[in-house]
Amino acid sequence: MSLLDKVYSKIEENKRNIEEGKINGIPFPFPKLRNSIPIIQKGFYFLLTAKTKHSKTQIANYIFVYHVLMYAYKHPEFVIPKILYFNWEEDEETILERFMSFCLYSKTSYRYSPIELNSPDKDRLLPTEVLNELKSEEYQKIFQFFVDHVEFCSDIKTTVAIDIKIKSWYREHGTINYKEAFYKDESGITHSTKSADSYTPNDDKEWLFIIFDHASLIQPIQNQSLLTAIGTLSKQCVTYKNIYKSVPILIQQQSKELGGLESSKQGRVRPDDTFLSDCKSTVNECTHFFGICDPVAFNIPEYLGYDLKKLGHNLRILELIVNRFGQGNQILPLYFDGAVNYFTELPKPEDTQALEVFYKQIEKINNKK
């Protein structure tokens, strides 16, 4: 099949999928960004950055774990997800407990953080009715779905070990197709070499998501620098998206310079490629580059028209900085509840009536504290 025929075939297949009630991707969780990124689809490579403690892991979990799993749970006819989670920062029990807190809050009025789920003292003993809710049949099915579809790989930390793990998964779940190339050495002798060219899954509904949290915690091999290790990992992510059509998600910190004296003078609050920590080449290889920030951490009274005295640390600014397939620099203000890892879109700053709902929720939470 020629290149042109291949592209025509893909366009026609995607059109036919929609006409037949199928999908070409998982809807992006925030509607206001769907003009720029309507779906999460196979073959996307996401880079997500923030300063330390600005919720980069939380937003990654919300989009690529919670949203993906719940969509697949409700639509098993479309998606069978597998998430390889290289959790170098948080342990797997904490990640699951965060998911429990999120599900409980999303489906009921119960708001209990992972700490509160574990009854920290006699004054904050988890109520029996909340425990019974968590152990109900519906929740147990959801949590078992999480356990069945998320595999934690915290002990795999080098690019070599990562590649072995991921390639092994591909071999177990499909066929790697190779192409042969020929070349002549200096003596004129012809040699041949094989390289992976494409991947045929055993089941087209199966999706592989690969989360790396976070880049600076990767373990360099031998005399390799951290910069080289991160750069190698990013290039592997390109291979995973291009050949195997998986969805890699690389979480990367911003350096301490963001929010420092110089950036403050320039009024720079949101993350960008300038302040990517330890390796800046990753932005050149991803398909989508997101940044998230907590404006109140920069000691300013308002940001983009939002009153930080009222919203405080519950405001997050998510920005689609780079979009290889459409418009970038799209800004989305979000309400964030860190106790239950919950995000939702905020109304515009001039819509005071709609914002009042969030102010009352924040006041309610603070009074409870």
What is the span of the domain harbouring residue 106? 27-284
The pLDDT assigned to 179 comes to 85
- Reported as a pLDDT band with limits 50, 70 and 90, residue 196 is confident
The pLDDT assigned to 256 comes to 81
Within a domain: residue 20? no
- Reported as a pLDDT band with limits 50, 70 and 90, residue 188 is confident
Amino acid identity of 359?
Y
Q: Contact 210/86 with Cβ under 8 angstroms?
A: yes
Query: Please, what is the average pLDDT of the chain?
Result: 92
Alpha-carbon span 31 to 27, nearest angstrom = 9
The pLDDT assigned to 185 comes to 77
Q: Is the per-residue pLDDT at 287 higher than 60?
A: yes
Within a domain: residue 260? yes
The pLDDT assigned to 262 comes to 56
Within a domain: residue 272? yes
Structure confidence by residue, pLDDT tens digits, 7-33: 999 999 999 999 999 999 999 999 999
Within a domain: residue 116? yes
Selection from 75, 145, 159 nearest residue 103 by Cα: 145
Within a domain: residue 142? yes
* Residue linked to tokens 């196979």: 42
The pLDDT assigned to 265 comes to 54
Average pLDDT of the segment spanning 310-329: 92
* Residue linked to tokens 């009630």: 21
Residue 359 in tokens: 């102010």
Within a domain: residue 61? yes
The pLDDT assigned to 307 comes to 93
* CATH code at position 262: 3.40.50.300
The pLDDT assigned to 193 comes to 79
**Three-state DSSP string of the chain:** CCHHHHHHHHHHHHHHHHHCCCCCCEECCCHHHCCCCCEECCCCCEEEEECCCCCHHHHHHHHHHHHHHHHHHHCCCCCEEEEEEEECCCCHHHHHHHHHHHHHHHHCCCCCCHHHHCCCCHHHCCCHHHHHHHCCHHHHHHHHHHHHHEEECCCCCCHHHHHHHHHHHHHHHEEEEEEEEEEECCCCCEEEEEEEEEEEECCCCEEEEEEEECHHHCCCCCCCCHHHHHHHHHHHHHHHHHCCCCEEEEEEEECCCCCCHHHHHCCCCCCCHHHECCCCHHHHCCCEEEEEECHHHHCCCEECCEEHHHHHHHEEEEEEEEECCCCCCEEEEEEEECCCCEEEECCCCCCHHHHHHHHHHHHHHHHHC
Counting Cβ atoms within 10 Å, is residue 165 exposed (0-12), middle (13-18) or buried (19+)? middle
Q: Is the per-residue pLDDT at 104 higher than 90?
A: yes
Percent of the chain with pLDDT over 90: 81
CA trace torsion 56, 59, 61, 66 (10° rounding): 180
Alpha-carbon span 233 to 163, nearest angstrom = 9
Within a domain: residue 87? yes
Structure confidence by residue, pLDDT tens digits, 225-272: 999 999 999 999 999 999 999 999 999 999 887 765 455 555 678 998
Within a domain: residue 290? no
Amino acid identity of 99?
F
Length of the chain in residues, anyone? 369
Structure confidence by residue, pLDDT tens digits, 121-167: 998 999 999 999 999 999 999 999 999 999 999 999 999 999 999 99
Q: Give the count of domains, the chain.
A: 1
Counting Cβ atoms within 10 Å, is residue 194 exposed (0-12), middle (13-18) or buried (19+)? exposed
Average pLDDT of the segment spanning 102-122: 93
Q: Is the per-residue pLDDT at 190 higher than 90?
A: no
Please indicate whether residue 188 or residue 311 has the higher confidence score (pLDDT): 311
Q: Is the per-residue pLDDT at 73 higher than 90?
A: yes
Alpha-carbon span 227 to 212, nearest angstrom = 15
